[in-house]
């Protein structure tokens, strides 16, 4: 059963000023709900908050977090998207990642425990799986993350599971694959600083004529470059709406892959970018990066069976076109 509306329902969106968070907020609003954004704006943008109130909240500050939750203590559902995500930074500064991600989530969970918030939808990642040879990846494989980023996300998953058992906190963990694209109306999109994701960097290379880096062309793939599962950010936002409905229907706990079940190589992405933009993408070949895997894409059957989730926007050309439209709008 699909959720037709959220009329009158307030939902706390932690990290709601960020890339995925702002799209989630817009989707909640489109269903008649009220997204209440908690964000410290270390990575998010105030101009991306358009659909409800916000509180400046730093999850590392326990008192500040508790105070914000107390203000909205009648809210039942929390969507938690806030975390440090830049993989290379995590390797250089693990203390920052564990403080932001793990300590911040512990403070959030403790604040929830003391209010009416008993449902959480958590933004996790396929990086918790680590090096998996068998694709598509099932949720049941043993998680053995390679990066500090993946390790912190797995620790956050474990904390949420523990709070579920001890304090009756219902959860849905969404393990995103590669979020991409932008809202079709062009008002929100990807604005990371620094930008490390392939598609916005390739669009910038196409538009500017500058060269981008490709790390490794000797992987065991169709053209030697890495293959990833790119899912449109609007589809990820819809997965949160489907999760709200699943919790309303009585789902107590679940961990679910959010992807398309298909993979595209770096060169396939660049070819599509050249088709959409009309510009050539210049690049230089660099050595492989430690920890980069050849192929990662999701088994999506559980998402469909448990959440009723299906992608709508994740055609590769549409992903690139919406990202390109946003890129041009913000210039």
Set out the domains of the chain in order of their start, with CATH numbers: 10-180+231-259 (3.40.50.720)
State the pLDDT confidence band at 222, using cuts at 50, 70 and 90: very high
Closest CA to 91 of 289, 229, 297, 227: 289
- Exactly one of 149, 171, 176, 230 is catalytic; name it: 149
Q: Model's pTM, two decimal places?
A: 0.95
Q: pLDDT, tens digit, for every residue of 125-180? A: 999 999 888 899 999 999 999 889 999 999 999 999 999 999 999 999 999 999 99
pLDDT tens per residue across span 239-291: 999 999 999 999 999 999 999 999 999 999 999 999 999 999 999 999 887 76
d(C-alpha 97, C-alpha 95), whole Å:
5
Q: Which two tokens stand for residue 215?
A: 């790390």
Active-site residue, 149 included: yes
Cα(305)–Cα(74) distance, rounded to whole angstroms? 31
Task: Spell out the residues 6+ positions from residue 279 whose beta carbon is closer than 8 angstroms to its own.
Answer: 206, 207, 209, 273
Residues 170-207: b if buried by 16+ CB within 10 A, e if exposed: bbbbbbbbbbbbbbeeeebbbbeeeeebbbbbbbebbb
Closest CA relative to residue 12, chosen from 98, 100, 116: 116
Task: Return the CA Rg of the chain.
Answer: 19
Confidence band for 112, pLDDT divided at 50, 70 and 90: very high
Question: Confidence class of residue 1 from pLDDT cuts 50, 70 and 90?
Answer: low
89 phi, psi to nearest 5 deg:
-65, -40
pLDDT in the model for residue 2: 59
């Amino acid at each position: 059963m699909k959720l037709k509306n959220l009329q009158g329902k307030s939902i706390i969106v932690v990290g709601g000023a960020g890339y995925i968070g702002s799209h989630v907020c817009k989707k909640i609003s489109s269903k008649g709900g009220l997204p209440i954004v908690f964000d410290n704006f270390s990575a998010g943008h105030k101009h991306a908050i358009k659909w409800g109130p916000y509180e400046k909240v730093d999850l590392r500050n326990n008192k500040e977090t508790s105070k914000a939750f107390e203000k909205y203590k009648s809210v039942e559902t929390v969507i938690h998207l806030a975390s440090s995500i830049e993989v290379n930074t995590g390797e250089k500064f693990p203390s920052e990642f564990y403080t932001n991600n793990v300590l911040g989530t512990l403070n959030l969970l403790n604040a929830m425990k003391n209010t009416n918030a008993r449902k959480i939808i958590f933004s996790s990642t396929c990086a918790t799986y680590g090096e998996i040879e068998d694709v598509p990846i099932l949720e049941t494989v043993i998680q053995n993350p390679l990066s500090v980023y993946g390790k912190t996300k797995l620790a956050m998953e474990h904390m949420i599971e523990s709070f579920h058992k001890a304090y009756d906190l219902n959860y849905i963990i969404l393990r995103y694959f590669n979020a991409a694209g932008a809202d079709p109306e062009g008002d929100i999109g990807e604005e990371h600083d620094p930008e490390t994701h392939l598609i916005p960097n390739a669009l910038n290379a196409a538009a500017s004529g500058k060269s981008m880096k490709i790390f490794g062309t000797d992987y065991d793939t169709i053209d030697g470059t890495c293959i990833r599962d790119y899912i449109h950010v609007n589809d990820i936002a819809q997965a949160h709406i489907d999760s709200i409905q699943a919790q309303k229907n009585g789902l107590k706990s679940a961990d679910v892959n959010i992807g398309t079940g298909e993979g595209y190589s770096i060169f396939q992405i660049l070819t599509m970018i050249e088709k959409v933009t009309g510009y050539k993408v210049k690049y230089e070949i660099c050595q492989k990066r430690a920890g980069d895997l050849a192929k990662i894409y999701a088994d999506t059957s559980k998402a469909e069976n448990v959440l009723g989730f299906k992608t709508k926007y994740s055609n590769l050309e549409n992903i690139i076109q919406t990202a390109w439209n946003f890129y041009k709008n913000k210039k």
